[in-house]
């Protein structure tokens, strides 16, 4: 199943897509307005979320594709977003190329312990159709398309699409500048849905396109099978000795990197698609 959070005035509604149809779970259970509400109910009832949702599909109102496209917000309002780095060879190569201390990235790629870092808070994270940000004090900025793991109380409950916006110029100056290169207004986007029935997250086609003024200026495609580490391994390091919040998202690493002579501009549009999860599309603005 794929879960969406839809705008409803100052509140939200929870929708679930199963097969070719999408249903408004809030129309049956008004207390189920967010994906968090569903997970809490599932935990209390000791019943899997998909099984709990399935009980209400017959009575639920249908959601049109038009409304789904117009009203979808971030599908999971995570308390925190964290990220893993240098989990794909292309990411290791890109960060080695940009950095004044390239040897450190080679060490991370081959090390037993992965790089795990804090990425975003709810007020810095945007959903489908909302603008992602590039810093005004940076002159080399890129989107980073990533498979995102959704966790409830530290356990994997689903997957979504993530965009780890990054300033390569700031990070390249000094590794200690990583927080400034990664954490700022509109630095992260997730969506459009949380998929709970992914059989193998390490075998998904992932693509990214960037459009500027109606022209496609970048396109790339890869597969999550290229990721050196497993989602379970990354989650184990994220949760170890760490008081993780109730609901969190872990981005699993950069799988596609535009050429070194490319930088995002205001007005660009970034489109990221992951097989069996959906398409996340965001315009770009300067922050």
Tell which of 20, 48, 71 closes a domain.
71
Contact 105, 99 (CB under 8 A): yes
Q: Which burial class, exposed, middle or buried, applies to 150 when counting CB atoms under 10 A from its CB (0-12, 13-18, 19+)? A: buried
Are the CB atoms for 169 and 138 separated by under 8 Å? yes
* Cα separation, 191 vs 146, whole angstroms: 11
Provide the H-helix boundaries in the chain.
35-45, 49-54, 65-71, 89-98, 103-110, 168-173, 178-182, 231-239
Q: What is the mean pLDDT of residues 34-53?
A: 97
For residue 21, which phi and psi values (nearest 5 degrees)?
-125, 150
- Kindly state whether residues 125 and 44 are assigned to the same domain: no
Same domain? 44 vs 97: no
d(CA 262, CA 19): 39
At residue 97 the predicted structure's pLDDT band, cuts being 50, 70 and 90, is: low
Domain count, the chain: 2
Question: CATH number, domain at 99?
Answer: 3.90.850.10
Predicted confidence (pLDDT) at residue 141 exceeds the cutoff of 90: yes
Burial of 175 (0-12, 13-18, 19+ CB in 10 A): middle
The percentage of residues in the chain with a pLDDT greater than 90, rounded to a whole number, is 85
- pLDDT category, 106, cuts 50, 70, 90? low
Q: Over range 137-148, report the average pLDDT.
A: 97
Q: Mind listing the pLDDT tens digit for each residue in 245-272?
A: 999 999 999 889 999 999 999 999 999 9
- Pick the residue with more confidence: 16 or 101? 16
Q: Which residues contact 113 (CB under 8 A, 6 or more apart)?
A: 237
Inter-helix orientation angle 89-98/103-110, to 10°: 160
Domain boundary among 38, 71, 104: 71
User: Do 183 and 110 have their domain in common?
Assistant: yes
Same domain for 48 and 94, yes or no, is: no
59 secondary structure, DSSP code: T
Task: Note the pLDDT tens digit of each residue in 156-186.
Answer: 999 999 999 999 999 988 889 999 999 999 9
**Which of 71, 89, 104 is where one domain is finished?**
71
* pLDDT digit string, tens, across residues 186-234: 999 999 999 999 999 999 999 999 999 999 999 999 999 999 899 999 9
Same domain, yes or no: 126 and 267: yes
Structural domain boundaries, residue 204 = 80-286
My answer on whether 142 and 29 are in the same domain is no
107 and 14 within one domain: no
Q: Are residues 140 and 238 in the same domain?
A: yes
Say whether both 220 and 134 belong to one domain: yes
Position 92 pLDDT exceeds 70:
no
Quick one: 120 and 255 in the same domain? yes
Same domain, yes or no, for 91 and 44? no
Preceding peptide of 135 cis, ω within 30°:
no
């Amino acid at each position: 199943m794929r879960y969406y959070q839809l705008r409803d005035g100052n509140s939200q509604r929870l929708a679930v897509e199963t097969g070719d149809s999408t249903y408004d779970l809030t129309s049956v259970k008004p207390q189920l307005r967010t994906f968090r509400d569903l997970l809490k109910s599932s935990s209390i009832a000791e019943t899997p979320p998909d099984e709990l949702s399935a009980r209400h599909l017959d009575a639920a109102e249908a959601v049109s594709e038009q409304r789904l496209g117009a009203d979808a917000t971030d599908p999971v309002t995570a308390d925190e977003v964290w990220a893993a780095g240098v989990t794909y060879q292309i990411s290791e190569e890109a960060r080695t190329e940009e950095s004044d201390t390239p040897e450190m990235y080679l060490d991370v790629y081959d090390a037993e312990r992965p790089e795990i870092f804090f990425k975003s808070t709810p007020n810095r994270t945007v959903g489908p159709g909302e603008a992602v940000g590039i810093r005004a004090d940076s002159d080399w900025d890129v989107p980073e398309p990533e498979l995102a793991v959704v966790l409830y109380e530290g356990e994997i409950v689903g997957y979504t699409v993530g965009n780890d916006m990054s300033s390569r110029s700031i990070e390249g100056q000094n590794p200690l500048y990583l927080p400034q290169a990664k954490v700022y207004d509109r630095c992260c986007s997730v969506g459009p849905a949380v998929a709970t029935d992914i059989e193998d997250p390490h075998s998904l086609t992932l693509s990214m396109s960037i459009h500027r003024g109606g022209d496609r200026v970048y396109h790339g495609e890869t597969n999550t099978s290229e990721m050196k580490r497993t989602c379970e391994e990354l989650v184990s390091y994220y949760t170890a000795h760490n008081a993780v919040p109730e609901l969190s998202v872990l981005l699993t690493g950069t799988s596609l990197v535009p050429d070194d002579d490319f930088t995002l501009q205001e007005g660009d549009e970034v489109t990221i698609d992951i097989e069996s999860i959906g398409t996340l599309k965001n315009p770009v603005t300067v922050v």
